[in-house]
Structure 1
Amino acid sequence: MSMARLSAKDSNSEPKRARIEAPLVLGFSADDKIRTIQPRDDALVVTLRIGGYDVRKVLVDQGSAVEIMYPDLYKGLNLKPEDLTAYDSPLVSFKRKTVTLRGQIRLPIQTGLDVVEVDFIVVDAYSPYMAIVARPWLHALETVSSTLHQKVKYPSNSQVKEIVGNQSMARQCMVATILHRPNTESSASVERNS
């Protein structure tokens, strides 16, 4: 009799199912454009926690192979020449000029609970940005980024996390770049126009 009860009980109970977790999908939809100013072609400029400090005006550049740190951030982090290691590969600017390098430093970039250490190349050049994060950081964090949607998305603890860009800051940086002209360039253009 007890055997019959067990059999009936077993036949009525549901079989245990294996938990299947759906893979995270990193992508963008029309909803991701909400709260962005469209149509625009602004750069993706974000705030990141670098070396323990919240750093504004960080350009996300998928086309760059190295992370760059500019003089304002170098000074703001109170870095000294002895904190840097040598970096002897030439670096060429957007204007196709060789940039003066101070060296290289490894610093953590924290996004939420995730921390990725990257090597920043410290340059002696003007930029409206404090830093540029590039493919090494993007790939280490397994991100996808979109200038159209003004976001960086990455997987973290079985969720998709976002870093939202700041279009206003991106435009301020663009204006600063346009207005910044070394004296040699402005005097040369004045001479040509005379």
Structure 2
Amino acid sequence: MVGTTQPHDDALVVMLRIGEYDVKRVIVDQGSGVEIMYPDLYKGLNLRPDYLAAYSSPLVSFDGKVVILRHQIRLPVQAGSEVVEVRFTVVDTYSPYMATVGRPWLHVLRAISSTLHQKVKYPSGDRIEEIVGS
């Protein structure tokens, strides 16, 4: 817990390299079964509409509203020295975050996240790497 002010109940928010850009305000949500990209990030990455794959499925948002998902896109996400391809679902709803990464991303990295410690740790070769919350 070095570097954290205790006690706290802060969300785990990190910076990740998504595509070719360093993206701040990415929330790590162990309760999410999908990775989500919000409109500000989609616009900021200058992604062309033809990069998007059509997708139609409902999602229940934080406030209990049902959001109809329209598109998905696969992008490389770099965490430390590890790069994994992530399928983001693009939603057209407001969020203070740029993106949400959830269980699928954590499982591919074989990562453990801790809001208490404000860190994500994962194996990389013969060592353990970590991402520190911001």
* TM beyond 0.5: yes
Structure 2 SS opposite 1:139: helix
- Asked if structure 1 preserves the Cα contact closer than 8 Å seen for 2:122 and 2:128, the reply is yes
Q: How many residues align?
A: 134
Q: Tell me which amino acid in the other structure corresponds to 1:134.
A: G
More helix per residue: 1 or 2?
Answer: 1
Determine which of 68, 84, 87 is the counterpart of 1:116: 84
Unaligned runs of 5+ in 2: none
Structure 2 SS opposite 1:41: coil
Q: Tell me which amino acid in the other structure corresponds to 2:54.
A: A
- Asked if structure 2 preserves the Cα contact closer than 8 Å seen for 1:69 and 1:132, the reply is yes
- Asked if structure 1 preserves the Cα contact closer than 8 Å seen for 2:56 and 2:68, the reply is no
Cα separation, 2, equivalents of 1:95 and 1:112: 32
Query: Where does 1:140-151 land on structure 2 (aligned, <5 Å)?
Result: 140-151=108-119
Q: Tell me which amino acid in the other structure corresponds to 1:132.
A: T
Structure 1 SS opposite 2:59: coil
Alignment partner, residue 92 of structure 1: 60
For CA contacts below 8 A with separation 6 or more, give which structure has more relative contact order.
2
Identical pairs, percent: 70
Q: Please report how far the alpha carbon of residue 101 of structure 1 lies from its aligned counterpart in structure 2 after TM superposition.
A: 2.8
More strand per residue: 1 or 2?
Answer: 2
Whether 1:160 aligns to 2:134 is: no
Q: Please report how far the alpha carbon of residue 113 of structure 1 lies from its aligned counterpart in structure 2 after TM superposition.
A: 2.0
Whether 1:65 aligns to 2:13 is: no
- Asked if structure 2 preserves the Cα contact closer than 8 Å seen for 1:100 and 1:125, the reply is no
Provide, for residues 2-23 of structure 1, a one-character-per-residue CA deviation record: whole Å limited to 9, x for no partner.
xxxxxxxxxxxxxxxxxxxxxx
Determine which of 46, 50, 54 is the counterpart of 1:82: 50
Unaligned runs of 5+ in 1: 1-32, 167-194
Q: Please report how far the alpha carbon of residue 100 of structure 1 lies from its aligned counterpart in structure 2 after TM superposition.
A: 4.1
- Asked if structure 2 preserves the Cα contact closer than 8 Å seen for 1:81 and 1:102, the reply is no
Give the 4+ runs in structure 1 shifted more than 4 A.
none
Cα separation, 1, equivalents of 2:6 and 2:48: 42
* TM-score, normalised relative to structure 2: 0.97
Provide, for residues 31-67 of structure 1, a one-character-per-residue CA deviation record: whole Å limited to 9, x for no partner.
xx01101100000000000112100000000010000
Q: Is the radius of gyration larger for structure 1 or structure 2?
A: 1
Q: Please report how far the alpha carbon of residue 102 of structure 1 lies from its aligned counterpart in structure 2 after TM superposition.
A: 3.6
Alignment RMSD (CA, Å): 0.9
* TM-score, normalised relative to structure 1: 0.67
